[in-house]
Chains A and B, each alone.
Chain A
């Protein structure tokens, strides 16, 4: 489903983002991407949804070789990948419902199907009662659930989570983790970047550990 073959990412002024990374991820896996701040976790996720291009190496995601993927096909790739962030990246001037519907509107889904899919997703995440609230009216945990809803609403094959619990309290973090596990249980491949090793050890999932852009542990 995802494969990195000797991937290196070097930013401006020779700053190494990732160095010679090779790994494969199968469909339905749950992977933690760990490492200290600046280790290259976010870079790795950005390479998967082609927000960045590698300096060297081959990346394959789903059926695409990202090196040869044309620019106008990038939206097709991103429609199959959901991404959530530590800072949620919600549009503050839109309601919860509008934030989630937004992800469906970019595709040419008929309005009736859009409505149905939207309600299904909001109900699954127990957000439907707050669908007319604006992000600033929601708690951090609820905002992250909205971000998850936006990522999930199109039934992605892959869910990328970049420090999704970084801004949340213990209770909300646990709730988000449970949601991510449930999503994974239903078949979606999940990659979660985190620096919380305690959490990773507790969950007993596969882990990719990065340090200064290099893959040091892979189990």
Chain B
């Protein structure tokens, strides 16, 4: 059978069973939207945790005066150090003023800038833990010009544990949602095909080949998946906009990833769902 006839039959099938098709489309769209929404939550959670992880650093307060250039190059030689940023006492004050914007008068009690110059030491990912921080901090303390270092210590490990737990919980939930969505979509498509079992029975009776029977259903599954994916994507964008404007101010969202992700999931679930359901009748 030519693809043209298959597509024509598929379109006929959709128009003949309009209400069933739209009911099924609604379920597919909502299911994919839930999946897409949870994808959005997961990606933002992942990015937030990564940003949080990258904030783990050592701050080394410096003696006055200190040879900044030599100190920086010596610290960079330490294994596990990724970057070193110098923060002068003036910069530190400005940052503090910015952070204490609403309680500026607190700083007015000081006649001189009380903040020392410092180095912010960024670490490689493998060293962003209590042990890594302690080891590197110990080495930094041995260098001339360093007065004191501060870092998260045990708190970092606790943070890591919490991060891991959140990630594991999120992945678990994601898997449950993925399987639920696949189950719901497959069951919905199966029900719509079961409702047309008489049609399939007659098709077989008059000598329709397996492909003649299956391809229009697969086409319908494709259309349902494609349109369902598109609707899910639009709903995701709307939700994202509402979340940004009214709640979070800023969220990570990759337009094309979500666009192709929603549509690809829809098409794959739609075609496979139809194929699996119709296969039962072709045995």
Contacts and interface: CB of A to CB of B under 8 A. Distances in A.
Q: Is the interface of A mostly helix, strand, loop or mixed?
A: loop
A91 B210 contact: no
Contacts of A106: 203, 206-209, 212
B162 interface: no
B108 to A, nearest CB: 83
A75 B2 CA distance: 17
B199 A91 contact: yes
Q: Which interface residue of A89, A94, A105, A108 has the most chain B CB atoms within 10 A? A: A105
Interface string A153-183: 0100000000000000000000000000000
A78 interface: yes
Contacts of A102: 202-203, 206
A79 B212 CA distance: 14
B205 A108 contact: no
User: For this complex, into which size category does the number of interface residues on chain A fall?
Assistant: 20 to 34
Interface string B194-217: 000011011111111110100000
A175 to B, nearest CB: 23
Nearest to A156: B207
Contacts of A150: 206
B155 interface: no
A219 interface: no
A12 interface: no
Contacts of B209: 72, 75, 106
A77 B204 CA distance: 11
B202 A76 contact: no
A103 interface: yes
Given A89-B201, A91-B198, A103 B16 contact: no
B282 to A, nearest CB: 9
B165 interface: no
Contacts of B16: 93-94
Contacts of B212: 75, 106
Interface in B76-115: none
Contacts of B1: 108
B68 to A, nearest CB: 80
B201 A79 contact: no
Contacts of B125: none
B210 A78 contact: no
Given A91-B199, A105-B5, A75 B205 contact: no
A78 B206 CA distance: 6
Contacts of A107: 207
Interface in B1-23: 1-2, 5, 9, 16-17
A118 to B, nearest CB: 14
A176 to B, nearest CB: 19
Nearest to A76: B207
A83 interface: yes
Contact of B208 (A75, A83, A91, A93): A75
B47 to A, nearest CB: 51
Given A72-B210, A106-B212, A108-B1, A78 B199 contact: no
A106 B199 CA distance: 13
A146 to B, nearest CB: 12
A77 B206 CA distance: 10
Given A78-B206, A106-B212, A154-B206, 4 more contacts: A51-B205, A77-B207, A94-B16, A108-B1
What 5 pairs across the A-B complex have the smallest Cβ distances?
A78-B207, A79-B207, A106-B208, A103-B206, A75-B207
28 contacts: A51-B205, A72-B209, A72-B210, A75-B204, A75-B208, A75-B212, A76-B207, A77-B207, A78-B205, A78-B206, A78-B207, A83-B205, A89-B202, A90-B202, A91-B199, A94-B16, A102-B202, A102-B206, A105-B5, A105-B9, A106-B203, A106-B206, A106-B209, A107-B207, A108-B2, A150-B206, A154-B206, A154-B207
